[in-house]
Amino acid sequence: MPRSGAPSAPGTPPPGTDSHQYRRVAEGFGVDAGRYDRARPGYPAGLTDRVVAASPGPDLLDVGCGTGIASRLFAAAGCRVLGVDPDPRMAEMARDGGTDAEVATFEDWDARGRMFDAVTAAQAWHWVDPVAGAAKAASVLRPGGLLAVFWNAMEPPAALKEAFGAVYRRVMPEHPIAAGFWSRPAVDTYAAGGVRAADGMRAAGGFGEPQEWREPWERDYTRQEWLDMVPTLGGHSQFPPQVIAALLDGLGEAVDAAGGGFTMGYTTLAVVATRPAD
């Protein structure tokens, strides 16, 4: 989560907010779980392969699994995945996609003695108390187990990024996304959240020194694919319908002006820590 004074990223709460206490935003994702599963980006093979290689075994717990986007990638890489999500609508869609998913906040989830080789959180750890969550992860990890929390930072082409920012400033000038997100590298905003995650791991104890991993990748978007994804960004489900409509109209015009499609640059930023083997 960004520190006070930094612009919030789409999918994160406003600056200066204790994000794990701002869960009404997270609880809005399930309003249109099908769109979320369809439109949200995945994660690069370099990241999933690195997590699997660093884990001492195949048993993986995916915290805030949502509809199972990351869970399915880890399953395809050979992991036995259990998902946990507080939204029953998201968990149901994860199960429909082949992920065994239980409904609970991670802090309150009952492990019932089960242990894992890796605990992951894809685009979700900012909804978890960073200290309590890390302590819970340490309690369910086998010796040598890995905690890996990660986010996708998106970076459109420079001219299009400015055009997107202009749309947000025009339609909703008071919103934190309009105030700053589109004016700085997104990875810097998410890196601030990574610092907070690492501090939580240190405070919880039970882990070695956290490390940061970065995996750059790209995804092509058509106009329709981008407009399909925008309403899934954090907080957007709570905007009035007329605001969403105005945003989509303006963003669609920006993509049209750029030729009808574009390549989004992504950097998946991960903070990882290992439970000592002894």
Residue 53: Cβ-neighbour burial (10 angstroms; 0-12, 13-18, 19+): exposed
pLDDT tens track for 56-70? 999 999 999 999 999
Q: Where are the alpha helices (DSSP H) in the chain?
A: 23-26, 33-39, 45-54, 69-76, 88-96, 130-140, 158-171, 176-179, 186-204, 223-229, 241-257
pLDDT tens track for 4-40? 333 455 555 443 445 444 455 555 666 789 999 999 9
Residues 6+ apart with CB under 8 A from 91: 65, 83, 85, 101, 102, 103
pLDDT above 80 for 269? yes
Residue 252: Cβ-neighbour burial (10 angstroms; 0-12, 13-18, 19+): middle
pLDDT above 50 for 2? no
pLDDT tens track for 66-93? 999 999 999 999 999 999 999 999 999 9
Q: For residue 81, what pLDDT is reported? A: 98
pLDDT band (50, 70, 90) for residue 119: very high
The pTM for the full model equals 0.90
**Domain 19-156+185-220+265-274 in this protein, CATH class:** alpha beta
The SS3 assignment for 39 reads helix
Which of 98, 102, 93 minimizes the C-alpha distance to 74? 98
Query: What's the gap between Cα 271 and its chain centre?
Result: 12
